[in-house]
Structure formats: structure tokens, C-alpha cells
């Protein structure tokens, strides 16, 4: 397994990061198999594990904590906060009040005294970034967190967070976790160059485009009736993406590899990507992903991919991607009726 520097933290991590979103009630409910998968990944050289408090409504962190018993020191352990963790208005987000509560829950479920990388799962438009960074800084100083990061932040908000850290003498975000795949390359325009500018590590999620780049979802085939189709139906039935998959299959075949291995090799080929998160649900899926860990793409293959999906291009949104208020709230796009009438 190739090892890489996680930004400028001095921490070395594997080019593949074991994502655990499919562990628990939303995926594999066999806890023993999940434990075997964690051990199999560690034995194969993966030393980076990513989870989140909201995965499985806290069950996933419990599974990870159980699986890492006796092997915690081998792992760079990352988790995330800010997602809703129950009823009530103050059980989510990036406020100091919630962060201090959320971290204690994660530490308890993960059975550890510290978290290597603690990440803001989604931007919180209701909380000043200074409030979030101040709380995270205190956690680093208390020894409960080693490094802090973000996920799904637009480039402008990454810059703002870096500026606030410098102006207020706070710990700065050391990593960003965006979505990235052959079908969704939008972060190549601004997010990745911004991360490079600030020396941030980048761990990308969904390098297989939520399953589209496994070859199991094909143009003209009957829609699958599975949990993934119910979760991201628009993404998995997008004509432009399915068309791209049909064009990518022969590229993979000519390169002598599966589409899955092509997609993973593509994600880890970008010089600004530190690690690509794999999210297997079964041991079989994990073994397949690990078997392609050493595959690399030459310039000819990368050029063919660029011709199908140009650099910096998103063929369409992923249903679960972060949508900023400026796009989701009509009131931020339209002047008041009375003002329009007066004009």
C-alpha cells in the first residue's frame, strides 16, 4: 500500500482510506464481518480509517471502536461531526455547545482517548467559522484531537477558515474531504488548488461515484431495487453519467483492468489527492478493491478519460452533496415581491 503525507501534518496515511459508512444498520449489520473487514484492511497496509457520528445513527462508530480494540495505535482514526444526532435544535452543527458534546460521544463509542482527525462534516451556515475553529482549537490543546479538518467546504469557505485561523491565532483546518470521481471532477477547478495553496491533505469520498463506476449500473438496464437506488436515484439514473460509463468501460478493458480499479486509480492519480475513501459493504467488495491498490494509469489512459469527462467537470450533482443556502433557498435568489413591483 502506497503511503503519503497528510498535508503538512507530518502524519503518513495510506493512499486508500477505509470508509465505514456501510457498517451497521444502513449496510452490513453483521458486526463480526465488519470487524474482519477492518482487520483485513489493516493487514493489507491501510492505516487510515474514516467514520462519522451520524453513520448508522452512532452505531458505526461503535462497530469501529470494537474492531480497533488492541490495534488502535496502528490507525490514523478520523471521524466527523455536525450531522443531526437526535431530536432537538442543538444536536447538530458547528457550535461550541454541540462540538463539546459530540466529541465526547465519539470518543466513548470509538473506545479511544483521542481522535487523529476531527472533521466538520458539512458547512454550517448558521454558525460563524470562528466559533467552530475556537472550539476545535480547544480540543487540540486538550489532547482529545490531533488535527482538524472539514468536509464538503467550497473553496471560498476554505479560504475564509484559513484567514480566521491566522487572524485569531486558532488551529487551522489541515484537511478537506470532498467528493471526487471520474464523473464528478468539479473540485479540480478551485477546491484542490486551494488545498494545495494551504498545504491541506485531501481525502476524497465516493471515488466510485456511489457505485456507478463499478459497472453494475448500465444504460438501458432495468433500475435496481436496492438501498443505494432508493438513496441516490437521480444520480444513478442520470443519462449523461450512464453514457459516460458506457464510454469508460472500453477504456478500462483496453488498460487491462476493471472499471472499479480504473476509477480508484484515477482518484489516487491526482497529485493533490492524499487518499481515496473506499466504502465496502462486504468482505468480497473489500478484497476486490484491495486487489487493485497497486494499479496505476499512464498518460494515454488519463488522456482518454479527459476526453470523456473534461477536467473540472461535474456531469451532474450527487443527491447527497452539500447544497449551499444560496442555491437551496429561493429567498436568497429572488428580490421581495414588493421591491420587484416597485421597479
Domains (range + CATH), the chain: 3-342 (3.20.20.100)
Q: What average pLDDT does the structure give for the chain?
A: 93
DSSP per-residue letters across 172-220 = ---EEE-B--SSB-GGGTTHHHHHHHTT-EEEEB-TTGGGGGGT-S-TT
Check pLDDT > 80 for residue 304. yes
The pLDDT assigned to 81 comes to: 97
- Please state the rounded mean pLDDT for residues 249-274: 97
Q: What is the per-residue DSSP string for 60-71? A: HHHHHHHHTTTT
Neighbours of 88 (CB within 10 A): 8
pLDDT surpassing 80 at residue 340: no
Calculate the alpha carbon distances from 15 to 48, 174, 196, 260, 287 in Å: 9, 17, 17, 16, 16
- Alpha carbon distance 79, 145 (integer Å): 10
Residue 295 neighbours by CB distance under 10 Å? 15
pLDDT of residue 48: 98
In whole angstroms, what is the distance from residue 232 CA to residue 116 CA? 30
Torsion of CA 242, 311, 15, 4, to 10 degrees: -170
211 Cβ neighbours under 8 A, 6+ residues apart: 217, 228, 236
Give the separation between CA 338 and CA 88, rounded to whole angstroms.
Answer: 35
pLDDT band at 234 (very low <50, low <70, confident <90, very high): confident
- pTM assigned to the model: 0.93
Strands 201-204, 275-278: parallel, antiparallel or unpaired by DSSP?
parallel
Label residue 144 by pLDDT band (50, 70, 90): very high
Q: What is the per-residue pLDDT across 322-331, written as a single tens digit (0 to 9) for each?
A: 888 888 888 8
pLDDT, average across residues 143-158: 97
Alpha carbon 113 to chain centroid, angstroms: 24
Q: Dump pLDDT digits (tens) for 59-107.
A: 999 999 999 999 999 999 999 999 999 888 899 999 999 999 999 999 9
Beta-carbon contacts of 112 under 8 Å, excluding residues fewer than 6 positions away, are 65, 68, 72, 77
Q: Which among 176, 177, 155, 173 has a CA at the least distance from the CA of 164?
A: 173
Q: Which residues have a catalytic role annotated?
A: 55
pLDDT per residue as tens digits for the range 17-72: 999 999 998 899 999 999 999 999 999 999 999 999 999 989 999 999 999 999 99
For 175-205, how does the pLDDT look when each residue is reduced to its tens digit (9 = 90+)? 999 999 999 999 999 999 999 999 999 999 9
The answer to whether the beta carbons of residues 123 and 153 sit under 8 Å apart is: yes
Q: In 3D, which of 112, 110, 168 has the Cα closest to residue 138?
A: 168
Amino acid at each position: 500500500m502506497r503511503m503519503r503525507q497528510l498535508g503538512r501534518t507530518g502524519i503518513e496515511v495510506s493512499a486508500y482510506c477505509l470508509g465505514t459508512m456501510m457498517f451497521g444498520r444502513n449496510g452490513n449489520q453483521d458486526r463480526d464481518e465488519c470487524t474482519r473487514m477492518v482487520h483485513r484492511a489493516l493487514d493489507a497496509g491501510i492505516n487510515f480509517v474514516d467514520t462519522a457520528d451520524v453513520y448508522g445513527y452512532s452505531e458505526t462508530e461503535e462497530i469501529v471502536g470494537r474492531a480497533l480494540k488492541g490495534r488502535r495505535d496502528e490507525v490514523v482514526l478520523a471521524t466527523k461531526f455536525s450531522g443531526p444526532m437526535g431530536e432537538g435544535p442543538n444536536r447538530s452543527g458547528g457550535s461550541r455547545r454541540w462540538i463539546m458534546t459530540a466529541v465526547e460521544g465519539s470518543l466513548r463509542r470509538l473506545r479511544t482517548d483521542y481522535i487523529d482527525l476531527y472533521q466538520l462534516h458539512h458547512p454550517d451556515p448558521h454558525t460563524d467559522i470562528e466559533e467552530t475553529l475556537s472550539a476545535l482549537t480547544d480540543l487540540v490543546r486538550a489532547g482529545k484531537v490531533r488535527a482538524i479538518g472539514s468536509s464538503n467546504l467550497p473553496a471560498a469557505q476554505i479560504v475564509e477558515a484559513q484567514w480566521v485561523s491566522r487572524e485569531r491565532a486558532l488551529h487551522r483546518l489541515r484537511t478537506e474531504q470532498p467528493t471526487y470521481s471520474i464523473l464528478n471532477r468539479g473540485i479540480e477547478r478551485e477546491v484542490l488548488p486551494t488545498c494545495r495553496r494551504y498545504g491541506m491533505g485531501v481525502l476524497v469520498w465516493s471515488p466510485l461515484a456511489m457505485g456507478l463506476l463499478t459497472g453494475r449500473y448500465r444504460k438501458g438496464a432495468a433500475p435496481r431495487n436496492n438501498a443505494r437506488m432508493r438513496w441516490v436515484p437521480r444520480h444513478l439514473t442520470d443519462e449523461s453519467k450512464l453514457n459516460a460509463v458506457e464510454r469508460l468501460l472500453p477504456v478500462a478493458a483496453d488498460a487491462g483492468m476493471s472499471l472499479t480499479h480504473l476509477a480508484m486509480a484515477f482518484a489516487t492519480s491526482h497529485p493533490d489527492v492524499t487518499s481515496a475513501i473506499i466504502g465496502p459493504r462486504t468482505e468480497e467488495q473489500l478484497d476486490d478493491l484491495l486487489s487493485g491498490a497497486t494499479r496505476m494509469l499512464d498518460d494515454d489512459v488519463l488522456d482518454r478519460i479527459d476526453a470523456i469527462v473534461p477536467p473540472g467537470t461535474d456531469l451532474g450533482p450527487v443527491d447527497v452533496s452539500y447544497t449551499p443556502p444560496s442555491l437551496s433557498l429561493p429567498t436568497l435568489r429572488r428580490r421581495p415581491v414588493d421591491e420587484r413591483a416597485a421597479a
